[in-house]
Amino acid sequence: MKALKILVLVLFAAVLIYASSGLPNRGDADNLMHADRSVINTTVKGSYFIKNAYRDAATPNMVTVVLGDYRSIDTFGEQVVIYTAGLITLLVLRRTRRLKKEIKS
Amino acid sequence: MRRQYDSPIVLLGARLLSPYIMLFGWYVIIHGHYSPGGGFQGGALLAASVLLIRVAGGKRVSRLQIAEFATTPLAVVGVVIYFATGLVAMAMGGYFLDYEMLPFPGDMEASMLRYYGILIIEVGIGLAVMAILIMIYDNMVRGEDYA
């Protein structure tokens, strides 16, 4: 059984390594995801961000511009998710009130 | 139940390391315009510097740094900074979170207004993430009833 597990892992690693040989080079300008038009001939939204991020926000880091400016409502949602998680821990983990009641009764 | 022992060596090491982690956290937030980083990552680093003191020093020492009751208002302040930025932009006649409409003093270009708008919301995210990570730790410790 253990040999089978190792065999599956090795096979999976071989598949992944074989697939990684087909990936495009890093920073390749002729890459499909950097093209202006997609395969089905629609405009690629990312090319607009790449071209205009510095002109719009004077910020060299393109990721910050997308996160904080173009997709800022999405980031606000992420922050609210984290905030809600914190409040839920306050409700679930903190048990002081119930302990006080038990002491009284 | 586990008992906590005071260890001066661990506390000294944590005291030595904590300010530098906090400084690096602010660097990651403020320098996020030029290098990898931003509010979430910097907030996690700020929380790490505070939690290091909490783990090493226990309740009595950590109360001096950020008290337990102060974390929830700090998280609310972080969320409100973000939301108020959007609302102010909307009140000045733009869209929600449209930083070009922010009423900064002086005559600034639209791109520089967006630059400072992103900076403000990154600081808001950093504050909220820091406060909430500390809050989760405090609540877990309170629930376990030790330390």
Euclidean distance between CA atoms B62 and B51, whole angstroms: 9
Three-class secondary structure of residue A40 per DSSP: coil
The pTM of this model reads: 0.81
Mean pLDDT on A19-37: 82
Q: Which two tokens stand for residue B65?
A: 């740094």
* pLDDT exceeds 70 at position A99: no
User: Looking at chain B, which residue has its C-alpha nearest residue A62?
Assistant: B33
Model pLDDT for residues B43-62, shown as the tens digit of each residue: 999 999 999 998 888 777 87
Does the beta-carbon distance from B117 to A68 stay under 8 Å? yes
Q: How many CB pairs under 8 A join A and B?
A: 97
Asked if B36 reaches chain A (Cβ–Cβ under 8 Å), the answer is yes
Average pLDDT rounded to a whole number, residues B87-115? 87
Contact by Cβ (8 Å): B71, B141: no
Facing residue for A86 by CB, picked from B40, B82, B132: B132
Query: What pLDDT, on the 0 to 100 scale, is given for residue B131?
Result: 94
Residue A12: the pLDDT is: 97
Listed in sequence order, the residues at least 6 apart from A68 whose beta carbon sits closer than 8 Å to its beta carbon are A75, B38, B117, B118, B121, B122
Per-residue pLDDT of B6-16, as tens digits, reads: 788 988 999 99
Q: Is the pLDDT of residue A100 over 80?
A: no
In terms of C-beta density within 10 A (0-12 exposed, 13-18 middle, 19 or more buried), how is residue B8 classed?
exposed
Domain ranges of chain A: 78-105
Token pair listed for B21: 């982690």
